């Protein structure tokens, strides 16, 4: 798995919260639609509906994370939560 500054557990929490909070947001429509498996998987993991992802699941989650950062135009500086990530995006 690709090395990032944001711990995998934080990535999962951020992706899960993003899916819940922004899934109806027009600005995130394409991202949400494209990541129609990665985001719900993150939600399942964050809420302990899924115990552990397979290797392909981990790869999908990493891709979803990478696409989110690229789409927002921010670098992975080690985010703690969605609010911190969104603040970095808004202040770029």
Chain segment 59-75, per-residue pLDDT in tens: 999 999 999 999 999 99
- Per DSSP, 24 falls in state T
| Torsion 69-66-6-12 (CA) sign | positive
Neighbours of 48 (CB within 10 A): 7
Count, residues in the chain:
92
Token couple for 9: 């557990």
How many structural domains comprise the chain?
A: 1
Q: How confident is the model at residue 4 (pLDDT cuts 50, 70, 90)?
A: confident
- Residue 3 belongs to a domain: no
- Residue 54 belongs to a domain: yes
Full residue range of the structural domain in which residue 50 is found = 8-90
Phi, psi of 23 (to 5 degrees): -65, -20
Does the structure show a pLDDT above 90 at 1? Answer: no
- Residue 86 belongs to a domain: yes
pTM: 0.94
């Amino acid at each position: 798995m690709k090395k990032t500054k944001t711990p995998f557990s934080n990535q999962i929490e951020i992706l899960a919260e993003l899916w819940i909070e922004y899934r109806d947001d027009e600005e995130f429509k394409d991202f949400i639609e494209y990541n129609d498996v990665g985001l719900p998987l993150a939600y399942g993991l964050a809420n302990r509906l899924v115990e552990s992802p397979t290797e392909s699941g981990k790869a999908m989650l990493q891709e979803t994370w990478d696409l989110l950062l690229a789409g927002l135009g921010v670098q992975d500086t080690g985010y703690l939560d969605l609010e911190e990530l969104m603040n970095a995006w808004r202040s770029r």
